[in-house]
Amino acid sequence: MFGLFCYYFMSVIKIQNISKHFGSLKAVDDLSFEVQAGQVFGFLGQNGSGKSTTIRMLLSLIHPTSGQIEIFGKRIEKDREAILEQVGAIIERPDLYPYLSAREHLELFAKVRKQKICEADINATLEKVGLAHRAKDKVQTFSLGMKQRLGIGIALVHNPSLIILDEPTNGLDPQGIADIRQLIQYLAKEEGKTVLVSSHLLSEIEQVAHQILIIHQGKKMVEGVTKELLDPEKRIVQIKTTDDANALKVIAASSFSNYLLPRSEGVYLKIPTREIPLLNESLVKAEVALLGIETKNSLEDYFLQITSNA
């Protein structure tokens, strides 16, 4: 019955104002977000941004300093065991035993979870992660990408509703990255799993995620639907001038004020492409000393603009 909770609650994960302090270090700072059922949710941030700390709090490996975490509509601190029965996770690289085969790993971790698993289920899981042909081979003969796929297979062994992957493509070659990407897409589209995936490989998240959250120094910078954030009809533009303060003042008093993006430095707007020439004309008429207008629309550009000036 508990496994059906994710279908009864649109928000599989609901994070409300969580913070985690390690002494004077604020690893996560008043972070809130929701992950909807059936989504691939992209969790982005540079190394040290607080992604892994957040994931460890989601999995109840560490406790937040403040704030609240709900999964499947239940509080993690009150229903930890029941929640984690429906969660599969990999934090960075999976811990594997070199002298065990892929099949033996699934059998072992099923026993650890007190999960009854038949041969057909093992074969289906290995097929799903592309390792059916290596089922009896020892893990010491596997490539890094194969080990990562086996780790995901272990996370799937109890058929969870929610899958949490922390940097699943870290260190992989292009083919390994493509294999993990296809597997994530399959799990969400074909099996209806909810997948939260953290990464700094921005182009990969851009291809798989329905929703994106970018954090920087533990704080939320932006969250939204991937297609909307990267809408080709709207561009992030940087206005380069000799006097940013004056440019901001002119734009704030104009019809373009709603497009301004908050930044500690520089002048940035998210604006419909068709209005960029009008913006340029308006700034020239206001005698703003323009050096140029630079447009951005890839996730990598977007990410760098957000985090480098935060």
Average pLDDT per run of 10 along the chain, which is 310 residues long?
47 95 93 94 88 94 95 93 92 86 92 80 90 94 92 91 91 85 91 91 82 90 80 79 91 91 80 89 91 74 61
**Per-residue pLDDT, 4:** 44
Whether 181 and 299 share a structural domain: no
Which amino acid is present at 51? K
* pLDDT on residue 116: 76
Q: CA of 247: how far to CAs of 82, 114, 260, in Å?
A: 55, 63, 11
Q: In sequence order, what are the residues at sequence separation of 6 or more whose Cβ sits closer than 8 angstroms to the Cβ of residue 219?
A: 29, 30, 31, 310
Output the pLDDT for position 69: 96
The predicted model scores a pTM of 0.77
Same domain, 99 and 159: yes
Residue 244 Cα distances to 107, 195, 266, 281, 283, angstroms: 62, 41, 6, 17, 12
Last residue of a domain, one of 228, 256, 283: 228
Residues 45 and 157 reside in one and the same domain:
yes
Note whether 130 and 264 are same-domain residues.
no
Domain check: are 155 and 296 in the same one?
no
Q: Residues 213, 280: one domain?
A: no
Same domain, 62 and 202: yes
**What is the extent of the structural domain holding 299?**
232-308
Pair 198, 251 in one domain: no
Which amino acid, one-letter code, is at 77? Answer: E
Q: Are 18 and 114 part of one and the same domain?
A: yes
The predicted pLDDT at position 86 comes to 92
How many structural domains is the chain composed of?
Answer: 2
Residues 151 and 105 in one domain: yes
**What's the pLDDT score for residue 5?**
45
Domain shared by 240 and 206, yes or no: no
Paired tokens of 43: 């969790």
DSSP 8-state secondary structure symbol assigned to residue 210: S
Domain boundary among 228, 252, 271: 228
CA pair distance 19, 156, nearest whole angstrom: 29
Nearest residue to 204 via CA among 293, 300, 268: 300
CATH code: domain of residue 119: 3.40.50.300
- Residue 266 belongs to domain with CATH number: 3.30.70.980
Unique residue bearing structure tokens 């700072």: 29
Contact 273, 237 (CB under 8 A): no
Sheet of 40-44: strands edge to edge?
87-91, 162-166, 194-199, 40-44, 211-216, 219-225
Q: Of the residues 228, 262, 295, which one is the last residue of a structural domain?
A: 228
Contacts of 158 (CB under 8 A, 6+ apart): 85, 88, 110, 113, 115
| DSSP 3-state of 13 | strand
- Is the domain of 217 the same as that of 236? no
3-state secondary structure of 289: coil
